[in-house]
Structure formats: C-alpha cells, structure tokens
Amino acid sequence: MDHISQRTQVAMLYRWVLSRWEKYLIFPIKNPSYYQVAGLVLSVVYLYVSSLVWQSILIGVILLFDWMDGAAARKYKVTGKKGWMIDVCVDRVSEGFIYLSALFSRLGTIFFLLYLCNIMLSLYSVKSGKHILLPLRFAWLLILIYRVWII
C-alpha cells in the first residue's frame, strides 16, 4: 500500500470514535468513488439552495458521504495514496462550491479565504506526509445550525 499522510493527534481523537462505528456499517455500494461523486453532486446542488435548514441538511449529508467514502475504502481494503489524493481533491472542490455560494457575505468571504488556505494545506499534506486540514465544512454546518436556531 502507498504511504498515506498521517493525521494529527486532534484528528485521531474523532477518527477513534468513528472507527468504532465503521465496523457496523453496511455499505449498499462498495466502491468509495460513488460516495465521493454523490457528495460532489450535493455540493453543486447546495449552490442553488437558499433555505438555511436545507443547507444544513445538505452539508450534513455531504459530510456523511465524505465519511462513508473513507470508511468503505478502509472496510474493503481499497486504500492507497492515489485514492487519498483523489478524496482530498474532491473534498476541496466540494468546499469550493459550498463557499462560492456565500462568497458575497462577510462570513462567506472569510470562509472562502479559509478554503484557499485549506487548498494550500492540502498541498502541504501531500508534500510533507502530515494530514493537516481545517475542518471548514464542520464549522460551516455549526454556523448554519446556529443561524437556524437564532433566526
């Protein structure tokens, strides 16, 4: 197997929790690429949704598919550096669609700039072997949920 960049200690905490659930998952589709494509398609759909509730649901499902593509790859032993790099690229494109939709708001501009930082961190991760990324979609989901409850 190719060398896949190592996660940070912080990421290892949530990965430990998720890995406990992964062994009980039943995947209707074994190929992780299908989950990546589904998440990417939903990211494009996100561009056209204006309801905060539906945006929150979409981000949640996108994150679920992102988790499932990695979980399917691990469960069916189809992991490798090539797949990891494709996953990182798909995740960055997904983020791009999400933050592009909010680019003209103050918060959206901040997140778009953080997204650009995430691209740089992705390149650093590939070069250094250290998987360092900002969990922007998780943060964006929390902000959306907060907005739903406040507004």
**Predicted model pTM:** 0.86
In this structure, what token pair is assigned to residue 74? 């691990």
Output the CATH code of domain 29-150.
1.20.120.1760
For the chain, first and last CA: distance in Å? 49
Which range, of 9-13, 29-33, 100-104, averages the lowest pLDDT? 9-13
Res. 25 pLDDT band, cuts 50 70 90 = confident
Rounded Cα distance, 88 and 25, in Å: 22
User: Do residues 72 and 31 lie in contact, with contact meaning Cβ atoms separated by under 8 Å?
Assistant: yes
- Percentage with pLDDT > 90 across the chain: 58
Q: How many CB atoms lie within 10 A of CB 132?
A: 16
Write out pLDDT tens, residues 99-139: 999 999 999 999 999 999 999 999 998 888 888 888 999 99
80 burial via Cβ count (<10 Å: 0-12, 13-18, 19+): middle
147 band by pLDDT with thresholds 50, 70 and 90 = very high
Q: Cβ distance 48 to 84 under 8 Å?
A: no
Distance CA 81, CA 19 (A): 19
User: Residues for the chain: how many in total?
Assistant: 151
pLDDT of 1 > 50? The answer is no
Strand partners, 57: none
